Amino acid sequence: MDEAERAGLLVRPAACEMCGHRAARRRPAGHHEDYARPLDVVWLCTPCHSQVHGPGLVVYVERLRAALAAAEPLLARDLERQGA
């Protein structure tokens, strides 16, 4: 994932995609729902990230999917712009 980010394929947003929280120093961490699709990343702040990996997983899957769906057109646009 770091390599894709360096190549500009992944743009790390300043805010958590789940709760919109903007950390002053720490940017959200990339969370993969499926490691076979490395560009399918949702960016989560630390509390949200531990929640999706914890017992609250089921509750948050729907919101994660919505975040992913919202991010896909943006990602496609970025790829296009870079001629990838």
Give contact residues for Zn ion (rule: CB under 5 A). 16, 18-19, 21, 31, 45, 48
Q: Which is nearer to Zn ion, 7 or 57 (CB)?
A: 57
Closest to Zn ion by CB, 15 vs 75, is: 15
Smallest distance, Zn ion to C-beta of residue 47, A: 6
Structure tokens at 39: 């560009």
The C-alpha atoms of residue 33 and residue 1 are separated, in whole angstroms, by 13
Q: Tell me how far, at minimum, the Cβ of 83 lies from Zn ion, in Å.
A: 30
